[in-house]
Structure 1
């Protein structure tokens, strides 16, 4: 069956064809500044959010104001950085698959050398595997410089797969993509093994700021986080995730900075932690699957280029550091929006009043 996306252009009625170079405009606002420190970004920085959900701007803005009331603001700690591509190899049976795995392990140095011939920046970190009967799933893990690395990882995996099929007896081609990556799908494997940038953003908010700016208490936010984000998500069958709305901030941030927006599927799998520390609030957002880059497809477009420049992600830095800075800012942005929403939901009616005032009443989205 032919769909609009696969049909030849000549078969699509003229009124349904998009003009060459057409764009779908999405409202964009710069929010903040939010205060960030840590091992990948530091300073008071405004962030862009492209979204149709206009209450998101004041919500993230309130979190940003909180960050400026704290020495050091939000600490964004980059824990890991790797892009993955899994391939599928077919064998005769499980024993043959295991023999192939041992052969792969024995020639890891050769595979690393071969990877370097595919790109100036791709480096093979590790190869993991799963065996299911005669099926062998290999998960290649790479560093990819300042690129998000989808194409770089796939190109390297394609070369590695071809080499293994030529040199490992009893192996046959299955697929260049085997769903064990996992790309743009909710899964446990990415949270466990990592895909993209693994970042935790956290902050310790004094009691007076919790009550003054967030209109709640640390104890109420901690209680809601356990009941809603943890227990509620378990009951819903969530996969390696326990948060209120990471996807909202990530989508806005990804669209504004030229990212592949479909990666919010795995990107929004993260865990919120809230602790009442003698009236002060410790609050963190852990995002193990942030797939972002500062070079590559889409980043050259004027709006994305301007956003990356304003975010300080166009500077002369060691390879990979601009993308790591972008990931840290994305995580800090997520924390601002998550904190503000969780605070609002501790107060009956607050969330709906804000949405009604801004989205239906024509209220100023900056007035929250």
Structure 2
């Protein structure tokens, strides 16, 4: 409550759908019930921004929005050295200095990662999601530490809003991608969407690990961009 204003946040299960319109429709009906049964209440708006849809807020990080996924890896030192061209210690140190201290210094809101939004946008577009939800989806935390000389690396995404049915999922390329990902199977309600969320989080982890490894080496990030992206056009 703020003065004479009441902000209500409904929480509902939406099965395999991301649920934007389902929740709004249900909330409309709930609002009608509240207004007809609670004396003194008047209608303000179907949304008071406490949802909080497509906005970076603290409440989403605390209460969650959509799916809450933690994905993690324990990578042997030899793999880190040979494949990522760095060390577990370097990645763990960079994560503290860049993702944690750097984000705090910049005034980040419940977020400590390098570039979740990049992977989320590609994944969301490929699977027919509402791309604007990368705003809250990119609010996540990367954690890295050494364990017996190896690298523990994890990404926590508390606001993954994804679905396997609903608007946009019948587009041919979307349907094909969902099928290839194993997210169009006959399962219990909600299981396909949960699988999709896990795969989305795994994609984020891979991209986050790659960038963090590259940034432990001077010049590597930009060298990759110059080699792959900036080719001369004739």
- What is the TM-score with the length of structure 1 in the denominator? 0.63
2:210 is aligned to 340
CA shift, 1:159, in A, is: 0.1
Distance 1:150 1:258 in 2: 14
CA shift, 1:361, in A, is: 2.9
**Do structure 1's residue 254 and structure 2's residue 124 form an aligned pair?**
yes
Local SS of the residue matching 1:203: strand
Cα pair 1:217 1:279 within 8 Å, conserved:
no
Distance 2:47 2:179 in 1: 34
Higher RCO (CA 8 Å, separation ≥ 6 residues): 2
Distance 1:215 1:357 in 2: 18
> Which structure features the higher share of helix residues?
2
Distance 2:219 2:114 in 1: 17
The counterpart of 1:352, out of the listed 217, 222, 225, is 222
Aligned residues: 232
The counterpart of 2:174, out of the listed 267, 281, 304, is 304
1:313 is aligned to 183
Distance 1:241 1:279 in 2: 27
1:237 is aligned to 107
1:132 is aligned to 2
1:189 is aligned to 59
Distance 1:360 1:334 in 2: 24
Distance 1:183 1:297 in 2: 17
The counterpart of 1:222, out of the listed 56, 73, 92, is 92
Unaligned segments of structure 2, at least 5 residues = none
The counterpart of 1:282, out of the listed 135, 143, 152, is 152
2:11 is aligned to 141
> Which structure features the higher share of strand residues?
1
Q: How does 1:83-98 map onto structure 2 within 5 Å?
A: none
Local SS of the residue matching 2:39: coil
Q: How does 1:19-98 map onto structure 2 within 5 Å?
A: none
Q: How does 1:154-173 map onto structure 2 within 5 Å?
A: 154-173=24-43
Moved over 3 A (4+): none
